Copies of this chain bind each other. A is one copy, B any other.
Amino acid sequence: MSAGKLYVVGLGPGEARFLTPEASAALGEAEALYGYAPYLDRVPARDGQARHASDNREELARAGAALAHAAGGATVAMVSGGDPGVFAMAAAVIEAIETGPAEWRALELAVVPGITAMLAVAAKCGAPLGHDFCAISLSDNLKPWDVIEKRLRLAAQAGFAMAFYNPVSKARPHQLDTAFDILREELAGSVPVIFGRAVGRPDERMRVVPLTHARGHMADMATCILVGSAETRIVERPGRPSLVYTPRRSGDA
């Protein structure tokens, strides 16, 4: 059996204050790092540790390169923003293992969890995900748009609060407006929508608007969007930002 090991490490949403000790230890142990360049840039350089940066769209190729490197006997870390298991690199690595050479199945694989964007955005504005919720990628690169529309409707009918990842891209500038239009058919216009941009980074920006006023141009690729349920509430505070929360109690209970 190969002595190689691959860590898939969640860096959290930005600054080092989110990086768990387990993630730090894995990054310290690795002989080589792989990842999307802006994520690699967050990891302090270390003598003797190789870095292999790649483009954001090359997930499977990047996973294969890291696995091939580890299969040679090295300890390798794939870095991922947020949590690697939430719309990030863990699924791509395992897909590469499933479809790659048999020796990749012999490797030790350790996924190291991280703070995913929706948790950081939620914490920043209160507790909008304080009750049942769902997380949906709005990208139709990897699934048909009609699946996304169906999920939005069912999630609204279920009473879930929602988190949207990958809300917009240059190739699909109008889909987020379509998503809000769908939600306006299912939910009251007063439901709070939170745009959390670059949360956990110096250029962080938060904005809360009622669903009636939510528009696609309010988000960019660095934005995670949260949508409340019918039960989500806003608590005004004199001289402080309002708090948004979804109560633990729901329905008639």
**CB-defined contacts of A130 to chain B, threshold 8 Å:** 85-87, 90-91, 94
In the bound assembly, the distance between CA atoms of A245 and B63 in angstroms comes to 15
How far in angstroms is the closest Cβ of chain B from A154?
A: 4
Contact between A18 and B12 (Cβ–Cβ < 8 Å)? Answer: no
Interface size on A, residues (CB 8 A): 82
Q: Is the interface of A mostly helix, strand, loop or mixed?
A: mixed
A97 to B92, CA, bound (A): 43
A120 to chain B: closest residue by CB: B113
Report the minimal beta-carbon distance from A156 to chain B, rounded to whole angstroms. Answer: 10
CB neighbours of A124 from chain B (8 A): 111
Cβ A240 vs Cβ B106 within 8 A:
yes
- Give min CB distance, A116 to chain B, whole Å: 7
CB of A253 within 8 A of CB of B19, answer: no
User: A108: CB under 8 A from chain B?
Assistant: yes
**9-residue interface stretch from A39-47, A65-73, A139-147:** A139-147
Contact yes or no, B122 A132, CB < 8 A: no
10 intermolecular pairs with C-beta atoms under 8 Å apart: A1-B239, A20-B20, A84-B127, A91-B245, A106-B239, A111-B123, A144-B251, A147-B253, A154-B154, A154-B157
Residues of A within 8 A of B (CB): 1, 12, 16-22, 25, 59, 83-87, 90-95, 97-98, 105-106, 108-109, 111-116, 119-120, 122-124, 126-137, 140-144, 147, 150-151, 154-155, 157-160, 233, 235-240, 243, 245-253
Residues of B close to A147: CB separation below 8 A: 159, 250-251, 253
Q: Which residues of the other chain, B, contact A86 by a CB distance below 8 angstroms?
A: 119, 129-130
Q: How far is the CB of A149 from chain B (nearest CB, A)?
A: 11
> What chain B residues lie within 8 Å of A25 (beta carbons)?
17
User: Whole-angstrom distance from the CB of A114 to the nearest CB of chain B?
Assistant: 7
